[in-house]
Amino acid sequence: MKKKTGLLLFELREGFIIALQSIVANKARSFLTMLGIVIGISSVVSMSTAIKGIDASFQKGISALGTDVLYIDKWAWFSNTEWWKMRNRRKITMEQYEKYKQTAQLPMAVAPVSNARKKVVYNENSVESVNINGSNADYVKTTNFTFALGRFYNDIEAKGARDVAVIGSELANKLFPRGDALDKTIKIGGFGYKIVGVLTEQGSFILGDFNPDNQVFVPIGTVFKHFASETFRSITINVRARTPALVEETKIEAEGLMRKIRSISPGIENDFSVNQQEGLMTNYNSVVGVIQVAGLFITSLSLFVGAIGIMNIMFVSVKERTREIGVRKAIGAKRRTILAQFLLESSTICLMGGFVGLLVAILLSYVVDRFLPTSIQASAVFIAIGISLITGVVAGLAPAYTAAKMDPVDALRYE
């Protein structure tokens, strides 16, 4: 038994040496064949890391928003309700917010929110169409905000509708590249606001209005005062549950209370929506799922093309070396020796291609990292090597088998 494994190792080693010699002897051909695998492996690895990167930063961002927060809104974020139906809903008012806040038992914090979209200017620096988030001092309790500078506006400032603002980190970087934002006065839609706080980075890959890094937080009264009349605007009520486990109960309570507050008769459907991140997550997951499947499918196609290339070359190589196979058989090579020789050749080409492909993918990830935080996982390395090895064996199998079962007499006679 021991002797047998020893012999197998011996044959593997010799086969590997023969394979290497053959690869080196046909440099141009080996390189071109390898190229297919290089492209295949690098695209598969890049794709999977890109997807992982998007996923990771989205998860991070979404948890910064808080998964235990409910948003009572006139609009449903994710639903099949027709847009015009929702448009005709009654607005949610500050008065309803007050009533809800007084009666609700389960929330940890409740805050009214009214948004505006304005240009924000400080000296020569400006950012167009920034989400201006108007609320009260309780708002900060509905978030996990941490502060790089200063603080959130307080109750007195909120009630007095003072022109004070808290800005997100990205916005702060754009307006105050030197980091001296505190106590400066910025212009929001032409109105001066004094900065009392700057947030630390919350989530780098949440798009649009969900990204707190790119927002301004001001007392809600100032939004009504400067940008939109309270009488026309529907507000959103942000509700944070005491614990994530209580989210569902808090939601049920909110629906009940809001129906009562808005005097909706039994049997009539809600004319408001209690939105949740979960909806966002579900939506996001289904989108990413599609991207993942489609992306990996398309990139796998290129790997598949590479594998066909290998198979093709191996068939040519076997045909070309028919006589050599005949000689090897005549002087004592067994079927499995020939089989191993060609399998080793194709898997060596694929493995080399896999390593190069991995290198290309790593280089690519450094470039991509500038736009999207990615990192090549250790698992990707093993997967890439594994896939290329399997590709080599699978692509080499048919040609190697053809070589192995050749009749030595015919092979020697082959011209």
Placement of tokens 């998860």 in the chain = 59
Distance CA 180, CA 194 (A): 13
Give me 364's structure tokens: 């690519």
| Interface with other proteins in residues 148-187 (CB under 8 A) | none
Of 56, 264, 327, 393, the one binding other proteins (CB under 8 A) is 327
For the bound state, the minimum distance from the C-beta of residue 332 to other proteins, rounded and expressed in Å, comes to: 2
Q: Please, what is the Cα angle at 409 between 403 and 410, to 5 degrees?
A: 60
Our CB check for other proteins shows the closer of 85 and 323 to be 323
Per the structure block, which two tokens stand in for 394?
Answer: 């699978």
**Among residues 201, 271, 278, 324, which is the contact residue for other proteins, using CB under 8 A?**
324
328 binds other proteins (CB under 8 A): yes
308, 334, 382, 390: which one binds other proteins (CB under 8 A)? 334
Q: Nearest approach, Cβ of 402 to other proteins (angstroms)?
A: 15
| 20 lies in the binding site for other proteins (CB under 8 A) | no
The pair of three-digit structure tokens given for residue 408, joined into one six-digit string: 């030595």
Taking the least distance from each CB to other proteins, the nearer of 248 and 407 is 407
For the bound state, the minimum distance from the C-beta of residue 409 to other proteins, rounded and expressed in Å, comes to 5
Output the smallest distance, CB 397 to other proteins, in A. Answer: 19
Asked whether position 329 contacts other proteins by CB under 8 A, the answer is yes
Q: How far apart are CA 284 and CA 203, in angstroms?
A: 16
DSSP state of 92: P
Q: Which residue in the set 293, 330, 359, 363 belongs to the binding site for other proteins (CB under 8 A)?
A: 330
Span from 8-16, 224-232, 238-246, 379-387 in contact with other proteins (CB under 8 A)? 8-16
- C-alpha distances (whole Å) from 312 to each of 328, 346, 351, 397, 400 are 22, 11, 17, 12, 12
Alpha carbon 107 to chain centroid, angstroms: 31
**Bridge partners of residue 134, in order along the sequence:** 114, 218
* 408 binds other proteins per the rule CB under 8 A: yes
8 Å CB contact between 53 and 373: yes
- Comparison of 251 and 328: residue with beta carbon closer to other proteins: 328
The verdict on 22 binding other proteins (CB under 8 A) reads: yes
Contact between residue 333 and residue 405 where contact means Cβ atoms under 8 Å apart: no
3-state secondary structure of 238: strand
**Dihedral Cα 276, 278, 283, 288, nearest 10 deg:** 140
25 binds other proteins (CB under 8 A): yes
Site string for other proteins, 304-323 (x = CB under 8 A): -------------------x
**Residues engaged in binding other proteins (CB under 8 A):** 7, 10-11, 14, 21-22, 25, 323-324, 326-335, 337, 407-409, 412
